[in-house]
Amino acid sequence: MSLRAKLWLAQVPILAALVLLSVLHGWRVSSIGGAAQQILHENYRSVLAAQRIDQAIERMDGAVRLRLAGRRDPVESPLDANRQRFEAELQIAESNITEPGEREAAAMLHQHWNAYVRSIEDLAASSGGDVARALYFAQAEPNFRKVKAAAYDILAMNQDAMV
């Protein structure tokens, strides 16, 4: 065997090791990128749900305030439509738990939501006028603020995880 052939044979293990390390490195980088993509995807779903929850509760409270002012909507009630939207997004938020503490935050949001619903039902059952306004400011409005704060907690938690 010539010297040239011996030198090539000596370098084959080095080349094989280099190829193997390149393949392993590529696979590892790809798996890390996939994990990061998964984290972003899951947290983005929770961020969207929290934003939509906030929008729905804002619209509901706006509808409640309009009713307190004496305005009635002739077609579909924004209160009912946004209540359905809220509940759909709440289900998404509760089923897409991705961060530590998010389950507790979602449970708190649900608890405040139930209190808000009870307060607007009490409001609807009231005789109206000053009684309704007093009920709104004593019950519905504080519960509205608690719902918004709980939705913000979920939003902030997931946005922080994405960053």
**23-51 pLDDT tens trace:** 888 777 777 666 667 777 788 899 999 99
Check residue 129 and give its pLDDT: 83
Interval 150-155 mean pLDDT:
95
Check residue 126 and give its pLDDT: 81
Q: Quick check: 17 pLDDT over 90?
A: no
**51-54 LR contacts (CB < 8 Å, sep 24+):** 51/155, 52/85, 52/89, 53/86, 53/89, 53/90, 53/93, 53/109, 53/147, 53/151, 53/154, 54/148, 54/151, 54/152, 54/155
In eight-state DSSP terms, residue 140 is I
Q: How many CB atoms lie within 10 A of CB 137?
A: 11
Interval 4-21 mean pLDDT:
84
pLDDT digits (tens, 9 = 90+) for 96-145: 898 899 999 999 999 999 999 999 998 888 877 888 889 999 999 999 99
Check residue 75 and give its pLDDT: 46
In eight-state DSSP terms, residue 76 is S
pLDDT digits (tens, 9 = 90+) for 71-103: 766 545 778 889 999 999 999 999 989 889 999
Check residue 39 and give its pLDDT: 74
Whether this model's pTM surpasses 0.85: no
Higher pLDDT, 59 or 128: 59
List of residues 6+ apart from 32 with CB closer than 8 A: none
